[in-house]
């Protein structure tokens, strides 16, 4: 039986994946913000052969990321699969108490913390996989001198920047830990919960996307396939299961630059023995 960790596992694709693994009899640790949604997952898990654990955390907080990662490390010697699904869109700019732009923190920095923070546990698995569900190949731009988007904030600008940062995370991680299969996965438009805070114009768009998006149950099929049959390459980039190219300019040099910027930002929250470069 495998041990799976899922961030953003209380809704949308993360929750559906959690329930699928629980049906198989796996142990699934779900990290999410809402206690109520966490309890709902634990209730649903009672009808499965698996074991579910819920860890409540607001992943926009790096202190909370560190607390949860340390709890996971204490609980599990081995993690077979790490699924990264937490994301929260914001029409308006928000800076967290720790000084990070909210989307960058929740969508990218948290994924950096989890990917690197669970390396030791992943390395003990026979076929470890990190499944980073985001928007690879979609474009976007890193605003190297304006990472908090103090100028020119827009929800899509923030989403694109954090998405590209995730692609760079995948490149650098795969280079550092080639024995762990890292997958950057674009699911297409899916009728999940679209977690976020939207202005009136965006709310209309989200209502449309909820109607036209693919069902969650359908969208997780190629994600499960990529987890069950990982490629031998350290990094795989897929859109709905098919290989794609990363956006032009998202290369090793950019990935190294992003890692060099990220580590000092996260230094107060990284556990040295856990997050060694």
Residues at the site binding ligand NAP, with contacts judged by CB under 6 A: 8, 10-14, 32-34, 37, 57-60, 85-88, 106, 133-135, 186-187, 189-190, 192-195, 213
Helix or strand holding residue 266 (H, E): helix 252-266
Minimal distance, residue 58 CB to ligand NAP, in Å: 5
Minimal distance, residue 134 CB to ligand NAP, in Å: 4
Minimal distance, residue 59 CB to ligand NAP, in Å: 4
Please answer whether residues 212 and 266 qualify as being in contact, where contact means their C-beta atoms are separated by less than 8 angstroms: no
Helix or strand holding residue 21 (H, E): helix 12-24
> Whose Cβ is closer to ligand NAP: residue 176's or residue 191's?
191
> Whose Cβ is closer to ligand NAP: residue 70's or residue 179's?
70
> Whose Cβ is closer to ligand NAP: residue 11's or residue 167's?
11
Residue 271, classified by CB atoms within 10 Å of its CB into exposed (0-12), middle (13-18) or buried (19+), is middle
> Whose Cβ is closer to ligand NAP: residue 78's or residue 197's?
197
Minimal distance, residue 66 CB to ligand NAP, in Å: 14
Neighbours of 267 (CB within 10 A): 10
Alpha-carbon distance of 74 to 70, in angstroms, equals 6
What are 39's two structure tokens?
């309890």
């Amino acid at each position: 039986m495998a041990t799976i960790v899922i961030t953003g596992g209380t809704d949308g694709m993360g929750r559906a994946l959690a329930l699928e693994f629980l049906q198989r009899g796996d142990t699934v640790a779900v990290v999410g913000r809402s206690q109520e949604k966490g309890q709902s997952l634990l209730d649903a898990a009672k009808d499965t052969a698996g074991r579910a654990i819920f860890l409540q955390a607001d992943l926009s907080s790096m202190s909370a990321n560190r607390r949860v990662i340390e709890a996971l490390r204490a609980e599990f010697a081995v993690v077979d699969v790490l699924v990264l699904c937490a994301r929260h869109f914001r029409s308006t700019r928000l800076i967290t108490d720790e000084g990070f732009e909210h989307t960058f923190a929740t969508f990218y920095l948290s994924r950096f913390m989890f990917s690197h923070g669970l390396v030791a546990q992943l390395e003990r698995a026979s076929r470890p996989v990190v499944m980073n569900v985001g928007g690879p190949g979609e474009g976007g731009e890193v605003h190297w001198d304006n990472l908090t988007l103090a100028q020119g904030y827009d929800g899509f600008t923030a989403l694109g920047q954090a998405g590209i940062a995730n692609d760079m995370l995948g490149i650098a991680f795969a280079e550092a830990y080639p024995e762990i299969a890292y997958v950057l996965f674009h699911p297409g438009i899916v009728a999940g919960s679209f977690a976020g805070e939207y202005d009136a114009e965006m709310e209309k768009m989200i209502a449309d996307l909820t109607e036209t998006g693919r069902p969650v149950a359908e969208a997780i099929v190629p994600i499960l396939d990529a987890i069950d049959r990982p490629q031998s390459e350290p990094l795989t980039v897929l859109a709905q299961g098919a290989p794609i190219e990363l956006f032009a300019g998202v290369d090793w040099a950019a990935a190294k630059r992003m890692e060099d910027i990220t580590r000092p930002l996260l230094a107060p929250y990284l556990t040295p023995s856990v997050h060694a470069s």
